[in-house]
C-alpha cells in the first residue's frame, strides 16, 4: 500500500538508528523506545516498501543489499532533518526582542553604551532600550529587564552579581600641576583648589584616601575650592582646563589620563569606591536576552565569581 504524506517518515528514523548501531537494542536506547517498538516500526516500513531492509537476529542486525541502498538515500535526509530541528531550537533560544536596561549615567555613557555594538553584532535579533540615570529604577514592576548599579543594591528580592569595584582617582591638568605643584600626600590638599561634586541629596562628596600608602583603612580629607557642581563631566572639563584638582571614578577620567590631558596624583593613597553590580529580577534572569546581556556585562566590566 502506498504511503500517504502524513506517514512519509514512519519507520525511517528507527531504521537508520538500527542500521548505524547494528543493534535493535542500541537503537532503542538511543531513541528512547523498546527494542520491540523499533523492530515493529522497521517491519511496517519494509511492508510499506515491499523489500527487506535488515537481516535481524536477537543480538545484531545487518543490512540487506536493498537496505544498503535505502540507507544511503535516507541518511542525508535524516541528517538534514536533525540539523533543521537543532537550528529551530537554537533560533528559539537565541536572544531576540526588546531588552530594556537601566545603567548609571556616566558609566553608561562612557563605557557601556559605546560597547553595545559588540553585543548587537552578536545578536542581531536583539534591540536595546537603555535608560541612563543615576536613579535606582525599579526592576520588579516590569519596566526593566536588567540594570547595572553603583553602590549597595539593598533589595533582597533582586538577583545581584558584583562585577567590579570602582577606584577613586585624583587628577589635575599638567598646566595646573606645573603652576601649583603636585601634592605628595592628602595633607597637602589644603594648598590646592579642589573641585567638588554635589550629590543628588545636595551634600558635597568628601574626598576619600587610604590612611597611608598601601594601608587598607580609609579616611576623608578636607578640601576647598572655587567650583562645586552636580555634573561630573563639567568638573572633568574644568580640571582639564587647569582650574584645579578633581577626584572621580576611574572610568570618568580614564580617556583624559590616557591622552595626557590629566595626570593622576596621590596614586599610592587611592582607595576603592562603591561596587558595580549587575541586577536582575528573578522572573527574567533566565530569559535568553537577559542571559546574553549578563554575560556581556561580565565580559565588559566583570571578573569571575568567587
Q: What angle do CA 212, 203, 165 make, to 5 degrees?
A: 45
Using one digit for the tens of pLDDT, what is the confidence trace for 181-193?
Answer: 999 999 999 999 9
Contact 219, 209 (CB under 8 A): yes
pLDDT at 46 over 50: yes
Residues in Cβ contact with 257 at an 8 Å cutoff, skipping those fewer than 6 apart: 169, 171, 263, 264
User: What value does the mean pLDDT of the chain take?
Assistant: 86
Which of the four pLDDT bands, split at 50, 70 and 90, describes residue 125?
very high
pLDDT at 76 over 60: yes
Which of the four pLDDT bands, split at 50, 70 and 90, describes residue 216?
confident
Q: Between the ranges 32-41, 131-140, 141-150, 224-233, where is the mean pLDDT highest?
A: 224-233
- At residue 180, the pLDDT reads 96
Mean per-residue pLDDT for 267-295? Answer: 90
Q: Which long-range contacts (CB under 8 A, 24 or more apart) does 86-93 make?
A: 93/288
Q: Which of 31, 3, 5 is nearest to 19 (CA)?
A: 31
Q: How far is CA 81 from CA 70, 86, 234, in A?
A: 17, 9, 60
pLDDT at 156 over 50: yes
The three cell numbers of residue 279 are 541586577
- At residue 304, the pLDDT reads 42
- At residue 1, the pLDDT reads 44
Which of the four pLDDT bands, split at 50, 70 and 90, describes residue 142?
low
CA distance 140 to 159: 11
Which of the four pLDDT bands, split at 50, 70 and 90, describes residue 305?
very low
- At residue 191, the pLDDT reads 92
pLDDT at 133 over 70: yes
Amino acid at each position: 500500500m502506498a504511503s500517504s504524506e502524513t506517514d512519509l517518515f514512519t519507520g525511517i528514523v528507527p531504521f537508520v538508528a538500527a542500521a548505524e548501531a547494528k543493534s535493535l537494542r542500541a537503537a532503542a536506547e538511543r531513541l528512547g523506545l523498546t527494542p520491540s517498538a523499533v523492530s515493529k516500526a522497521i517491519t511496517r516500513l519494509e511492508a510499506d516498501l515491499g523489500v527487506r531492509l535488515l537481516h535481524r537476529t536477537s543480538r545484531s542486525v545487518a543490512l540487506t543489499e536493498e537496505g544498503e541502498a535505502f540507507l544511503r538515500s535516507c541518511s542525508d535526509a535524516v541528517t538534514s532533518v536533525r540539523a533543521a530541528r537543532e537550528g529551530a531550537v537554537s533560533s528559539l533560544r537565541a536572544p531576540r526582542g526588546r531588552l530594556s536596561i537601566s545603567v548609571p549615567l556616566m558609566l553608561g555613557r562612557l563605557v557601556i553604551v559605546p560597547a553595545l555594538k559588540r553585543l548587537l553584532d552578536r545578536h542581531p535579533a536583539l534591540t536595546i532600550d537603555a535608560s541612563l540615570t543615576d536613579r535606582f529604577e525599579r526592576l520588579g514592576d516590569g519596566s526593566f529587564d536588567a540594570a547595572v548599579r553603583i553602590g549597595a543594591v539593598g533589595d533582597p528580592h533582586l538577583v545581584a552579581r558584583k562585577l567590579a569595584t570602582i577606584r577613586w582617582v585624583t587628577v589635575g591638568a599638567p598646566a595646573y600641576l606645573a603652576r601649583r605643584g603636585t601634592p605628595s600626600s592628602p595633607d597637602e590638599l589644603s594648598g590646592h583648589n579642589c573641585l567638588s561634586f554635589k550629590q543628588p541629596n545636595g551634600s558635597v562628596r568628601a574626598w576619600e584616601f587610604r590612611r597611608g600608602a598601601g594601608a587598607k583603612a580609609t579616611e576623608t580629607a578636607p578640601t576647598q575650592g572655587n567650583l562645586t557642581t552636580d555634573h561630573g563631566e563639567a568638573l572633568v572639563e574644568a580640571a582639564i582646563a587647569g582650574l584645579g584638582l578633581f577626584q572621580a571614578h576611574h572610568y570618568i577620567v580614564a580617556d583624559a589620563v590616557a591622552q595626557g590631558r590629566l595626570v593622576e596624583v596621590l596614586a599610592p593613597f587611592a582607595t576603592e569606591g562603591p561596587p558595580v553590580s549587575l541586577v536582575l529580577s528573578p522572573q527574567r534572569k533566565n530569559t535568553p536576552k537577559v542571559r546574553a546581556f549578563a554575560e556581556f556585562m561580565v565580559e565588559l566590566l566583570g571578573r569571575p565569581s568567587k
